[in-house]
Amino acid sequence: MNWSACFAQRTALMKSGALRELMKVTSRPEVISFAGGLPAADLFPVAQIKSALSAVLAAWGGQALQYSETPGLPELRDWIAGRFSLARLRVARENVLITTGAQQALDLVGRILLQKGDRVIVENPTYLALLSAWRPTGVEFLPVACDAHGIQAEKCKPLMKLKPKALYCVPNFQNPKGATLTLSRRKKLVALARQHSMAIIEDNPYSELRYSGSALPNLLELDARNGASSEYESHVIYAGTFSKVLMPGLRVGWVIAARPVIEKLTLAKQAADLHTSTLSQHLALELLRRGFLEEFLPTLREQYGRRRDAMLEALEKYFPKGATWTTPEGGFFLWVTLPKRVNASQLLPAALGQRVAFVPGEEFHLNGEGKNTMRLNFTNAPPARIEEGIRKLGRLL
């Protein structure tokens, strides 16, 4: 059977990131990895999880492992709706769809919204797996530079003549740059969406992990605030996840959107995987009801904040003059810009030789820029390992 002659044309648009190959090396315990976007599994409170699982099985018995509704457990949807509802933003259960991680949220949005000929504005650099999810639809990406304060909203305006159908952004502690979008830029994006009937896909996995500075309103909230209607209606499709604040292995994320969007997404999800793991949803719900998030988040913020600080200090100490970096207020990543002459991709093999891994920043760009940049994750390794890794990288530089 000659399979390559059988594959659909869209498979030519499915690419394996260099990132994925890199991960095979970095999963070895002797490697200090700044490459992935992994939370620290050693912080997961295993005893609490075990007790929550027992409570779920005691309360639900076999039903905790039975088929369940496509949109998700009603109680979990209600919890999320409650968490996001504000005075001027009434989120109902019907505005919430549970997904198999936020990645599925992005994938489903692509399926219902995008087709060949459509244009989508993305941050440059941007989240790689968004490109993987949407590229097979045949969509054209319009990259707009993301600086230390997020996507340059003022540069989006001239693109409106190309009638982009949607704009994708990670407003808080962006992946890969760690940048936070300023309030004035947020407002500008919402205004553009309203004026040009453009959808905004707000991907917000990290917002609860803020280590300094103060929170800014979500785009979802900014759009709703100016809306007069009491029924929820928004240009924003919001993707959230428990992967960063509880555990990624659950694969539980969600979408918040207007009802017509949720209805289409639900049809797409039904065809994609029927529903998200019933057990995972019950476990998440049980942990949330116990107030686990209120207990666990301060620990995460403290630990991850320390790791960020350890990396910033080590960079100051060991990295050469001429290198600069972002100081993220939260999230998982920071971004280093090396002197122009340094090519981060060429540095990588030597770094791996020293058992330190990072991702060359060029990978996240749509236009070959960023050859002298690198993305560094600071949540996965403890402070001492972070210092050791940065020292080794600094010596190589």
Shortest separation between residue 327's beta carbon and its own copies, angstroms: 26
Neighbours of 212 (CB within 10 A): 12
Kindly tell me which of 179 and 246 has the beta carbon lying closer to its own copies: 246
Shortest separation between residue 210's beta carbon and its own copies, angstroms: 22
Task: Give the contact letters, 31-70, x = binds to its own copies (CB under 8 A), - = no.
Answer: -----x-xx-xxxx-x--xx--xx--x---xxxxxxxx-x
Interface with its own copies (CB under 8 A), residue total 84
Shortest separation between residue 186's beta carbon and its own copies, angstroms: 18
Q: Is 36 exposed, middle or buried (0-12, 13-18, 19+ CB in 10 A)?
A: middle
Tokens read off for 372: 């002298």
**Can you tell me the distance from the alpha carbon of 306 to that of 381, in angstroms, rounded to the nearest whole number?**
11
Shortest separation between residue 259's beta carbon and its own copies, angstroms: 9
Shortest separation between residue 118's beta carbon and its own copies, angstroms: 8
Kindly tell me which of 46 and 228 has the beta carbon lying closer to its own copies: 46
Q: What is the dihedral of CA 329, 20, 70, 67, to 10 degrees?
A: -120
Candidates 3, 87, 214, 321; binder of its own copies (CB under 8 A) is 3
Shortest separation between residue 42's beta carbon and its own copies, angstroms: 6
Amino acid at residue number 124: N
Kindly tell me which of 9 and 214 has the beta carbon lying closer to its own copies: 9
Shortest separation between residue 200's beta carbon and its own copies, angstroms: 10
Closest to 133 (Cα-Cα) out of 176, 160, 100, 180: 100
176 to 215, contacts with its own copies by CB under 8 A? 197, 199
Give 3-state DSSP helix, strand, coil % of the chain, rounded to 5: 50, 15, 35
Kindly tell me which of 115 and 346 has the beta carbon lying closer to its own copies: 115
**Can you tell me the distance from the alpha carbon of 397 to that of 204, in angstroms, rounded to the nearest whole number?**
34
Kindly tell me which of 138 and 217 has the beta carbon lying closer to its own copies: 138
Burial 13-33 (b: 16+ CB within 10 A, else e): eeeeeebeebbeebeeeebbb
Neighbours of 254 (CB within 10 A): 26
**Can you tell me the distance from the alpha carbon of 189 to that of 211, in angstroms, rounded to the nearest whole number?**
25
126 scored as a contact of its own copies (CB under 8 A): no
- Listed ranges 240-248, 313-321, 331-339, 351-359: which one lies at the site for its own copies (CB under 8 A): 240-248
Q: What pairs with residue 375 in β-bridges?
A: 335, 359
**Can you tell me the distance from the alpha carbon of 239 to that of 59, in angstroms, rounded to the nearest whole number?**
30
Kindly tell me which of 71 and 330 has the beta carbon lying closer to its own copies: 71
242 to 301, contacts with its own copies by CB under 8 A? 243, 247-251, 258, 260-261, 264, 267-268, 270-280, 283
Closest to 195 (Cα-Cα) out of 230, 173, 220, 164: 164
Kindly tell me which of 181 and 224 has the beta carbon lying closer to its own copies: 224
127 to 156, contacts with its own copies by CB under 8 A? 129, 132-133, 136-137
Q: What is the DSSP letter of 322?
A: T
Q: What are phi and psi of 216, to 5 degrees?
A: -110, 155
Shortest separation between residue 368's beta carbon and its own copies, angstroms: 22
215 to 234, contacts with its own copies by CB under 8 A? 233-234
Kindly tell me which of 2 and 214 has the beta carbon lying closer to its own copies: 2
Kindly tell me which of 36 and 217 has the beta carbon lying closer to its own copies: 36
Kindly tell me which of 7 and 154 has the beta carbon lying closer to its own copies: 7
Task: Give the contact letters, 367-396, x = binds to its own copies (CB under 8 A), - = no.
Answer: ------------------------------
Q: Where are the alpha helices (DSSP H) in 18-171?
A: 18-26, 46-60, 74-84, 101-113, 128-134
Q: What is the DSSP letter of 369?
A: -
Kindly tell me which of 66 and 299 has the beta carbon lying closer to its own copies: 66
**Can you tell me the distance from the alpha carbon of 382 to that of 70, in angstroms, rounded to the nearest whole number?**
39
